[in-house]
């Protein structure tokens, strides 16, 4: 039996088993294998998606967040800049049929379509519809190395495990930690099906490349048996336990190229994920999701992203977005790359809490020329950022007026605490997260850090809003002193608990309304009762204050004081 050299011969060998190496390792007999429900139950295929769906994040945004986060977490040691390519491909006619046959979709998943809930316009239910594929390819990364059957391996954690918190305790400021990255990928497939193709340095199994298809369907009944909905395209091992191995090495490369992947034969280490029958086929919508959440890492040139579609390349341009530009300016303030240009901007660092540095912020009141095209729903919000440099959340911390935005960059010292506080979507910092029970240095400190951090951000932003004023163009400058004096003169009387005379820290309120009485010497006395108190957003417990009383007297000639 001779060795096969050409690609066409290798593809044929993969299908027929004529290559001796493929026959020996049984990599040529790939098929779809689904998991039956065992006596003790287990996670359904849909469980991987349910967690992310419940949070209400758009699947496209979740795709941009999770896919890039997986790639950034897998960066090669010493590699500063990860490259991620989103490639949108549309197949019709014979090309579509060849793809469906190569992945055995009609025979493997097709019979189950009627037993599960899928998008009604999926490619198997509507054969005449074009097939949209989305490839997510990363470079300058390590790939999914390690035995597929070892729960600690990168391959197992991405494709097979769910709820795995291993990465939460990994050094280096990783982004993910739950093992739900696969959910964001499968949610964007009408068939809830993806294919992973990866190349890496030789691992302890001797492999350098692998390919496996994964379906995450809902639990269902089929041919009188109950199934979890989890299915794998690979080679099933013989034995009492259900174990499906991925294709490896030459077999993986050959099938990957047949499915439309870019080859990784010559040291092009990294991982490519194919989303089968993808919902995403508009490059602009995908670009907006990338810009929305990854602009800090893009601006720092630690991430390179390309979206390919129809022979053209598209690049994220966060600086061209009116709704991101004010946050970008605040980011520079928080990092000390820029200084406040006036009272409409502010930057500062929080004081340490129990010896831990918290981080720094930058705020600004939006000038008129930026406010015109700025979305109202982002006003009063702070972009929360930690070490992966993905925006975790645009957190509502302030008020809509005056129109203010901000950015907070967490200190590396609390990165692990914040990571443990995040839910599966990594979309907020929650002081009540159960995972903080194992946080270091201790649970109490961790919860205090998250709680105090959120409270300080809210307090500081609201105080800034109360004190700050937007930049005033020269042609619109006014006589503020005169306006204040005239305003005090004609201000209506305030009664009861209405606020009067707000200062930086003190709020003075009338207990009794101002009144007057005539005296024996023909003079008039005015009297009232006032109560000064610290404002609600003051951080200090006490302060010294001096009050000044001004009484306006009206006579026939007009007012005087």
- Domain coverage including residue 249: 7-283
d(CA 445, CA 453): 12
**How many other C-beta atoms lie within 10 A of the C-beta of residue 246?**
26
Does residue 474 fall inside a structural domain?
no
Higher local confidence (pLDDT), 513 or 139: 139
d(CA 153, CA 166): 10
- Say if residues 296 and 391 touch (Cβ distance below 8 Å): yes
Q: Is the pLDDT of residue 386 over 70?
A: yes
Chain segment 86-131, per-residue pLDDT in tens? 999 999 999 999 999 999 999 999 999 999 999 999 999 998 899 9
Give the containing element (helix H, strand E) for 33.
strand 31-36
Based on the fold, state whether residues 460 and 518 are members of the same structural domain.
Answer: no
- Say if residues 429 and 504 touch (Cβ distance below 8 Å): no
**Least reliable range by pLDDT among 26-35, 37-46, 308-317:** 37-46
Angle at 118 between CA 292 and CA 233, to 5 degrees: 90
d(CA 18, CA 21): 9
Based on the fold, state whether residues 220 and 361 are members of the same structural domain.
Answer: no
pLDDT value at residue 432: 94
> 247 phi and psi, to 5 degrees?
-65, 155
Based on the fold, state whether residues 195 and 86 are members of the same structural domain.
Answer: yes
Does residue 149 fall inside a structural domain?
yes
Q: Is the pLDDT of residue 160 over 70?
A: yes
426 conformational bin, left if phi > 0, alpha if psi -120 to 50, beta if neither: left
Which of 229, 263, 283 finishes a domain?
283
d(CA 509, CA 515): 15
- Average pLDDT (141-146) is 90
Does residue 351 fall inside a structural domain?
yes
Which neighbouring-strand residues pair with 407?
A: 362, 383
DSSP three-state, residue 395: strand
- Say if residues 286 and 87 touch (Cβ distance below 8 Å): no
Percent of the chain with pLDDT over 70: 75
- Say if residues 116 and 229 touch (Cβ distance below 8 Å): yes
Based on the fold, state whether residues 488 and 550 are members of the same structural domain.
Answer: yes
What rounded mean pLDDT belongs to the chain?
82
Which of 283, 314, 343 finishes a domain?
283
Based on the fold, state whether residues 502 and 410 are members of the same structural domain.
Answer: no
Based on the fold, state whether residues 231 and 334 are members of the same structural domain.
Answer: no
Q: For residue 259, give both structure tokens.
A: 């499915």
Does residue 64 fall inside a structural domain?
yes
Which residues 6+ apart lie within 8 Å of 505 measured at CB? 534, 535, 538, 540, 543, 545
Based on the fold, state whether residues 193 and 238 are members of the same structural domain.
Answer: yes
- Say if residues 418 and 450 touch (Cβ distance below 8 Å): yes
Q: Kindly state the DSSP code that residue 376 receives in the 8-state scheme.
A: G
d(CA 504, CA 506): 6
- Average pLDDT (50-71) is 75
Give the C-alpha distances (Å, rounded to integers) separating 259 from 108, 189, 311, 376, 554. Answer: 16, 16, 18, 45, 90
Q: Match 């007026």 to its residue by tokens.
A: 401
CA quadruple 184, 188, 193, 195: dihedral sign = negative
Which neighbouring-strand residues pair with 553?
A: 560
d(CA 132, CA 375): 32
SS (HEC) of 149-172: CCCCCHHHHHHCCCCCCHHHHCCC
d(CA 437, CA 454): 19
Based on the fold, state whether residues 425 and 518 are members of the same structural domain.
Answer: no
- Average pLDDT (223-245) is 91
What ranges make up the beta strands (E) of 310-370?
312-314, 345-349, 359-365
d(CA 62, CA 185): 8
Higher local confidence (pLDDT), 156 or 412: 412
Does residue 343 fall inside a structural domain?
yes
Based on the fold, state whether residues 63 and 146 are members of the same structural domain.
Answer: yes
Cis peptide before 402 (omega within 30 of 0): yes
- Say if residues 419 and 392 touch (Cβ distance below 8 Å): no
Does residue 13 fall inside a structural domain?
yes
Which residues 6+ apart lie within 8 Å of 315 measured at CB? 287, 305, 306, 307
Does residue 292 fall inside a structural domain?
no
pLDDT value at residue 7: 37
Cis peptide before 348 (omega within 30 of 0): no
Give the C-alpha distances (Å, rounded to integers) separating 327 from 159, 201, 266, 359, 423. Answer: 35, 40, 41, 16, 24
Q: Kindly state the DSSP code that residue 326 receives in the 8-state scheme.
A: H
**How many other C-beta atoms lie within 10 A of the C-beta of residue 402?**
18
Based on the fold, state whether residues 91 and 161 are members of the same structural domain.
Answer: yes
DSSP three-state, residue 264: coil
Q: Is the pLDDT of residue 553 over 90?
A: no
Based on the fold, state whether residues 345 and 399 are members of the same structural domain.
Answer: yes
Number of domains within the chain? 3
Based on the fold, state whether residues 457 and 520 are members of the same structural domain.
Answer: no
Regarding pTM above 0.85, the answer is no
- Say if residues 212 and 246 touch (Cβ distance below 8 Å): yes
pLDDT value at residue 356: 96
Does residue 127 fall inside a structural domain?
yes
Which of 250, 283, 316 finishes a domain?
283
Which neighbouring-strand residues pair with 36?
A: 227
Give the C-alpha distances (Å, rounded to integers) separating 187 from 49, 183, 294, 512. Answer: 6, 6, 20, 63
Chain segment 162-218, per-residue pLDDT in tens? 655 555 545 555 555 545 666 778 889 999 999 999 999 988 889 999 999 999 999
Q: Is the pLDDT of residue 13 over 50?
A: no
The separation between the first and the last C-alpha atoms of the chain, rounded to the nearest angstrom, is 111
Q: Kindly state the DSSP code that residue 475 receives in the 8-state scheme.
A: G
């Amino acid at each position: 039996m001779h060795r096969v050299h050409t690609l066409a011969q290798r593809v044929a060998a993969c299908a027929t088993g004529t290559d001796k190496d493929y026959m020996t390792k049984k990599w040529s007999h790939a098929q779809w294998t689904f998991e039956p429900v065992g006596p003790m139950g287990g996670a359904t295929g849909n469980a991987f998606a349910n967690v992310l769906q419940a949070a209400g994040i758009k699947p496209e945004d979740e795709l941009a967040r999770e896919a890039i986060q997986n790639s950034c977490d897998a960066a090669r040691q010493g590699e500063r800049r990860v490259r991620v390519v989103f490639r949108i491909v549309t197949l019709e006619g014979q090309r579509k049929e060849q793809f469906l046959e190569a992945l055995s979709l009609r025979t493997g998943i097709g019979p189950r379509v009627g037993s599960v809930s899928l998008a009604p316009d999926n490619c198997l239910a509507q054969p005449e519809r074009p097939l949209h594929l989305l490839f997510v390819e990363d470079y300058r990364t390590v790939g999914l190395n390690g035995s597929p059957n070892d729960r600690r391996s990168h391959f197992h954690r991405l494709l097979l495990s769910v709820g795995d918190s291993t990465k939460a305790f990994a050094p280096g400021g990783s982004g993910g930690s739950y093992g739900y990255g696969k959910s964001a990928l499968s949610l964007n497939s009408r068939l809830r099906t993806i294919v992973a193709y990866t190349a890496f340095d030789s691992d302890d199994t001797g492999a350098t490349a692998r390919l496996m298809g994964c379906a995450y369907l809902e639990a269902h009944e089929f041919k009188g048996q109950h199934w979890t909905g989890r299915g794998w395209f690979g080679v099933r091992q013989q034995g009492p336990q259900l174990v499906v191995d991925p294709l490896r090495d030459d077999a993986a490369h050959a099938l990957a190229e047949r499915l439309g992947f870019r080859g990784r034969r010559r040291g092009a280490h990294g991982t490519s994920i194919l989303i089968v029958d993808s919902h995403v086929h508009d490059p602009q919508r995908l670009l907006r999701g990338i810009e929305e959440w990854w602009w800090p890492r893009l601006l720092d040139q630690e991430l390179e992203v390309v979206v390919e579609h129809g022979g053209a390349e598209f690049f994220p341009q966060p600086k061209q977005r009116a709704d991101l530009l004010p946050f970008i300016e605040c980011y520079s303030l928080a990092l000390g790359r820029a200084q406040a240009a006036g009272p409409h901007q502010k930057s500062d660092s929080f004081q340490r809490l129990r010896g831990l540095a918290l981080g720094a912020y930058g705020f600004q009141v939006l000038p008129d020329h930026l406010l015109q095209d700025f979305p109202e729903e982002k006003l009063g919000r702070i972009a929360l950022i930690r070490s992966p440099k993905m925006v975790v959340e645009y957190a509502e911390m302030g008020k809509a007026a005056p129109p203010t935005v901000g950015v907070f960059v967490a200190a590396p010292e609390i990165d692990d605490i914040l990571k443990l506080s995040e839910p599966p979507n990594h979309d907020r910092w929650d002081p009540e997260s159960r995972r903080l029970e194992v946080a270091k240095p201790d649970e109490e400190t961790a919860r205090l850090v998250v709680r105090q951090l959120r409270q300080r951000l809210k307090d500081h932003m609201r105080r800034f809003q109360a004190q700050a004023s937007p930049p005033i163009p020269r042609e619109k400058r006014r006589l503020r002193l005169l306006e204040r004096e005239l305003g005090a003169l004609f201000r209506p009387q305030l009664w009861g608990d209405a606020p009067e005379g707000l200062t930086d820290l003190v709020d003075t309120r009338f207990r009794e309304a101002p009144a007057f009485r005539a005296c024996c010497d023909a003079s008039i006395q005015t009297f009232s009762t006032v109560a000064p108190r610290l404002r609600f957003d003051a951080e200090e417990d006490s302060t010294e204050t001096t009050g000044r009383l001004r009484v306006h007297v009206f006579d026939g000639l007009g007012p005087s004081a």
